[in-house]
Structure 1
Amino acid sequence: MKTPLKWVGSKARIMSQLLQHLPSGKRLVEPFAGSCAVMMNTDYDEYLIADVNPDLIHLYQCIKFDADQFILDAKRYFELSNDECSYYQIRSGFNIEPEWQWRAAMFLYLNRHGYGGVCRYNQRGHFNVPFGHYKKPYFPEAEIRAFAQKAQRATFICASFEETLKMVRPGDVIYCDPPYIPQNPTANFTQYHTDGFTQDDQAHLSHMLHLLCQQGYPVLASNSDTYEARNLYAQFTRYTLTAPRSIGAAKGGDSSARELLAVGV
């Protein structure tokens, strides 16, 4: 199932590979919400979905609370002219808009009209993704309605991975899809909200997941297939997945990337 948002690194296109390793359980815990492709393509009784990006979490909360109203609000922006000037006016308005209802609608507009599904902020916390120059951006009404239905099983919270992982309880399955370790210096084009996701964050995450494994929780973590990632997850069972990529591939070049899936039980 597709999701309302375009998203760099979305797991929608590798779900068939990922599902082979996701165990059964009562609740799926995801400290890095992303596009919620894993939630939409699994069938757990409950979901705990977290992210440090309040725009992302409030969008999901708005859809869950009242999908019809969210669709009406978001359509108002999609019905405006699809041109560069309109995009940058809405982006400027989004960066000063205090009302979460309108920020959520504008966030969907920016996601669908901005470049490549990138979600990036500058150090002042301003969304700064450039215009995408798409001929006719798609309004994902069917995906919003499907999401709203599935979201009734979910709790969405704005929290760090550390805070979220402290909330796990017996019966939970944990899946982490953090910002990836760059495979090369030019690959690090995303900003994880305003502060970035550092090497120390990567190490702290892997350490917490290892401790949860020792406590008996089933844990999965995705990352780029690099030496650093394999070293961080050396005590996990590691698999290589092949993921399509739409950004960073040269025309006529390799359009897929190797990803690491670390599994601990």
Structure 2
Amino acid sequence: MNRSPLKWAGSKYGVMDKLLHFLPSGNRLIEPFVGSGTVFMNTNYKSYLLCDINPDLIMFFNMVKNGLDELINISGELFLHSNNSTSFYEIRAAFNKGNYSDVKKSAMFLYLNRHCFNGLCRYSELSGFNVPYGRYKQPYFPDKELRLFSEKANDTGAVFLCCDFDECIEMGTAGDVIYADPPYIPLSESSSFTKYHSGEFGTDEHLRLAAALIIAQDAGCKIVASNSKAAIKTGIYGQFDSGLITAQRSISRAAGVSTTAEEAIFTSK
């Protein structure tokens, strides 16, 4: 399996072998929540439409596709000289001001992703990217992963767009495969819904997503969606077939400390 150049909470790398069994053939893969791009990197569709509401993420992917050499040069310097808390918070503050070229800001995004705590991507409406320093001894610079991602993006003519999920889904046409991996419904009532960029992704958003997927299915698209197993009980995605897969979940930064959890997979009937 190929890894994304980004660390990402909820990455599908650990379940990709299982997920592939649910992804049907089709003309094009559409992802309204592209996240780290792991599904893109491990599938073989002729073309891709990859969307997310996070403009920094989409800018980064477009720069990997169209400006790789400069991106590697700039981000490589940051990795080489800035693995300390002072530099991290200076770069984070500068990143949030936004007065940089796309390639410079994309290099900063990669640096923050690989140096922040657990590779989280979290924003505040007031302060911007706000994940703290991760204190890693030597963060990995993903040179190989960047080059593989860029090569595949160019070979397939992948399109990366910043837009809301329903706008992305509306672009689907008959024969396309839509894979939706939204923030998961929490397993307990005491849990809060997962943040989606700087906003909440709650029941209303899940209902809106399910409605958009049903419309796309009726238009001839093939639907696959991931969620927590709690989503089955809600009935929100009840118009799709459902199944469970087992996913590895890290519970500690210590090597080898993990647990398993069941995830729901919804597919077209």
The answer to whether TM tops 0.5 is yes
Q: Please give the alpha-carbon distance, in whole angstroms, between the structure 2 residues aligned to 1:224 and 1:102.
A: 36
- Give the alignment's Cα RMSD to 1 decimal: 2.2
Aligned match of 2:168: 164
Distance 1:250-1:208 versus aligned 2 partners, 3 A rule: farther
Residue of structure 1 equivalent to 2:51: 50
* Partner of residue 106, structure 1: 108
What secondary structure is seen at the aligned counterpart in 2 of 1:38? helix
Gaps of 5+ in 1: none
TM-score w.r.t. the length of structure 2 is: 0.92
Residue aligned with 1:139, SS: coil
Listed as ranges, the matches of 1:1-265 within 5 Å are: 1-99=2-100, 100-124=102-126, 126-152=128-154, 153=156, 154-184=158-188, 188=192, 190-227=194-231, 230-247=234-251, 255-265=259-269
Percent identity of paired positions between Structure 1 and Structure 2: 44
Return the alpha-carbon distance in structure 2 between the equivalents of residues 235 and 248 of structure 1: 37
Residues 206-258 of structure 1 deviation map (CA, whole Å, 9 limit, x = unaligned): 11112222333210011111056651111211111111112589999861221
Using the TM superposition, give the Cα deviation of residue 188 of structure 1 relative to its aligned residue in structure 2, in angstroms. 4.4
Partners of 2:233 and 2:103 in 1: CA distance: 38
Q: CA deviation at 1:34?
A: 0.3
Secondary structure of the equivalent of 1:255? strand
The answer to which of 122-131 and 34-43 deviates more is: 122-131
Q: How many Å separate the matches in 1 of 2:20 and 2:61?
A: 23
- 1:114 and 1:247 map into 2 onto residues whose CA distance is 17
Report the secondary structure of 1:42's partner residue: coil
> Separation in 1 of the partners of 2:119 and 2:137?
15
Residues 188 and 79 (structure 1), Cα distance of their counterparts in 2 relative to 1, 3 Å cut = farther
Does 153-162 or 220-229 show the bigger shift?
A: 220-229
> What secondary structure, in the 3-state scheme, does the structure 2 residue paired with 1:136 have?
coil
**Equivalents in 1 of 2:103, 2:146: separation in Å?**
15
Q: 1:176-210 CA deviation, whole Å, 9 max, x = no partner?
A: 00111122367548531112212101111011112
1:12 Cα deviation after fit: 1.0
Amino acid at match of 2:56: D
Distance, in Å, in 1 between the alignment partners of 2:117 and 2:193 is 12
User: How many angstroms apart in 2 are the aligned matches of 1:76 and 1:137?
Assistant: 13
Distance 1:45 1:127, change over 3 A: same
| Aligned counterparts of 1:54 and 1:41: Cα–Cα separation in 2 | 23
| Of 204-213 and 9-18, the range deviating more from structure 2 | 204-213
Select between 224-233 and 186-195 the one with higher mean Cα deviation.
186-195
**For residues 38 and 256 of structure 2, what CA distance do their matches in structure 1 show?**
28
**TM-score of the aligned structures, taking structure 1 as reference length:** 0.93
